[in-house]
Amino acid sequence: MTTALSRVATLLALASAPVLLQGCAETKQAQPNSTLRIFAADQTGGAKTCQGAKPAVTDGQAVDAAIKLGNDGGWCAVSVDQRGRPFASALLTGRPNHGKVFVHQVGDATRIDYTPFRGFVGADSFAVKLIPGDGVVRVAVTVTGP
């Protein structure tokens, strides 16, 4: 009986592996000469209505950007890079009052995701300092209903 259960468990694990690994599947390469990749998991969970920005960040300077999104539980992002490469790190220097921010590398860019708190509609803002170079992205956010 135990051997039969082991076989069933093994078969179930093997059958579910492709589903579990689907989030790791590579969807596209970022730039032609890049070794950095964008995965399916990097693209999931975005807001259905999202207008993000891709501002040019200059070392030591602050740049303004805007995000407009519907509050359906998804994120909307500002994407930045340092001469075609992602930044090494980032520091949240101004926290949003009505949402959360997640800064991470996606392919050849640094993506700054904003997700509003459930039910919030209105204006929010935050600021991120990018390292190296100490450029700052100040983001004004407008959240509409779902």
Q: List pLDDT tens digits, range 18-50.
A: 444 444 444 444 445 555 666 555 566 677 889
Compute the average pLDDT of residues 109-119. Answer: 94
Please say whether the beta carbons of 128 and 110 come within 8 A.
Answer: no
Instruction: Tell me, yes or no, whether 67 and 18 share the same domain.
Output: no
Token pair of 68 as six digits: 């407009």
Instruction: Tell me, yes or no, whether 33 and 73 share the same domain.
Output: no
DSSP, collapsed to helix, strand or coil, labels residue 85 as strand
For residue 71, what are the domain limits?
48-144
- What phi, psi does 24 have (nearest 5°)? -95, -5
How many domains does the chain fold into?
2
Instruction: Tell me, yes or no, whether 17 and 72 share the same domain.
Output: no
Model pTM score:
0.72
Instruction: Tell me, yes or no, whether 55 and 11 share the same domain.
Output: no
Whichever domain contains 107, its CATH number is 2.60.40
Q: Say if residue 115 is exposed, middle or buried (CB neighbours under 10 Å; 0-12, 13-18, 19+).
A: buried
Q: Give the separation between CA 83 and CA 130, rounded to whole angstroms.
A: 13
